[in-house]
Amino acid sequence: MRHIYSLPVKRKARILLSVLTVVLLGGLGWLALPPRDSLFHGRLESEWIKGITYGMSLSDSQNQEQLQRWRDFGPEGLRMIERGLDHATRGRTYRNIHRRLSRLPWMPVRLLPAPQMDTMRAARMNVLDLLWRMGKDAWPASAAVARALADEDPGVRQIAITFFTHPEDDTAFLNQMSRRDKERLLPHFIRALGDNGPNWGLRNNAALALRYYPEQARLVTPTLAKALQDPSAYVRLMSAEALNRVDANAAKTAGAAGVMITLMQDPDDQVASRAAFALRQFQTEPEAAVSALIEALHSTNSNVACDAVWSLEWAFPKHADRIIPEMRKAAERKDSVGGYARSALKHLESNPPAGPSARAAAR
């Protein structure tokens, strides 16, 4: 018998290529197999996963019932959810590899089973929705959720981001993570904000996540500044707000306050009122912010005007001499804005800033 090392080079190469092909095909075939389905509390794990319902479709009481059920399972139930989430993404790896191999002329892809369609998208979304609603109880599952940030479906990635940003304040999980773990997630958020697909919700959530990275301002600010031109008003709003929080000077240079001021005229009430509320944070451009908010104070959109009242009342005390006369005009309105303006006037007039012009305005 001739040893392989005594064979001609070309023949040895063909043999090695054949061996590698068999190994690769075997590995890909294994990826195509369904994952093992174990029992959990007398039911198959896959049945438990399929039984999770999307929270937005439930009433408050039903949501609480579902959340409590999984909290009662404790760490064991959380580990099962992690396995279910990973199993629901298993076909993605095979689909990606199959698609890439099909481009190679030498690879007999026809010998492999055809990749199945992504039928587990809804299950992944439901699991991730459950996990973010569980709050701190689900934080131990963060590694599995982090893997979902690379999911093939933008809707799944969108909900995965929510796990790390809920409840959108300083108690968000991103603010509690170690610096190293937090840094590992940053490329996912930057990539998501640059996604040019139709899912603006993914970009919106990514911009929200980037607000928690002031320590990475050098990497984050260019991406957020570019997103100020996003076709979605929601993304522009969230990006302007995040940029101002990460680096107020960079936000000023990029014109983030101007974007926010323009958004106060948006036909979408939610966008316009959120912009009026968020403009209070732009303390590097107080003159422009106060002027825009005074104009919004007299808007026929009561939601925008109410948010303008609150921003003017609390965020710009040094400009009370300009604000108080306009607030008095708003106090004469017969809608809810008038009531809020009268309340704001009591606060502003009882705490006038130093200076003759402010005292005169308060009289």
Residue 354, pLDDT > 60, answer: no
Number of H helices, E strands in the chain: 19, 2
Q: For the segment 281-335, what is each residue's pLDDT rounded down to a tens digit?
A: 999 999 999 999 999 999 999 999 999 999 999 999 999 999 999 999 999 999 9
Tokens representing 79?
């580990």
Beta-carbon contacts of 81 under 8 Å, excluding residues fewer than 6 positions away, are 49, 70, 127, 130, 131, 141, 144
- Which range, of 34-48, 163-177, 266-280, averages the lowest pLDDT? 34-48
- Inter-residue long-range contacts of 160-165, CB under 8 Å, 24+ positions, other chains counted: 160/128, 161/189, 161/192, 161/202, 161/205, 161/206, 161/208, 161/209, 162/128, 162/132, 162/205, 163/128, 163/131, 163/132, 163/138, 164/209, 165/205, 165/208, 165/209, 165/212
Identify which of 311, 285, 286, 283 has the alpha carbon closest to the alpha carbon of residue 296. Answer: 311
Task: Return mean pLDDT, the chain.
Answer: 87
Q: What are the angstrom distances between the C-alpha of 255 and each of 23, 236, 239, 244, 286? A: 56, 12, 12, 10, 13
CB neighbours (10 Å) of residue 218? 9
Residue 362, pLDDT > 70, answer: no
Tokens representing 16?
């090695």
| pLDDT, position 89 | 74
Beta-carbon contacts of 286 under 8 Å, excluding residues fewer than 6 positions away, are 316, 318, 319
Identify which of 302, 259, 301 has the alpha carbon closest to the alpha carbon of residue 282. Answer: 259
Average pLDDT over residues 49-64: 95
Q: For the segment 139-194, what is each residue's pLDDT rounded down to a tens digit?
A: 999 999 999 999 999 999 999 999 999 999 999 999 999 999 999 999 999 999 99
Write down the domain spans for the chain.
275-363
For tokens 């940053």, the residue is: 186
Q: For the segment 124-142, what is each residue's pLDDT rounded down to a tens digit?
A: 999 999 999 999 999 999 9
Cut 0.85: pTM above it: no
Average pLDDT over residues 95-119: 62
Residue 198: asked if its preceding bond is cis (omega within 30°), the reply is no
State how far Cα 352 lies from the chain centre. 40
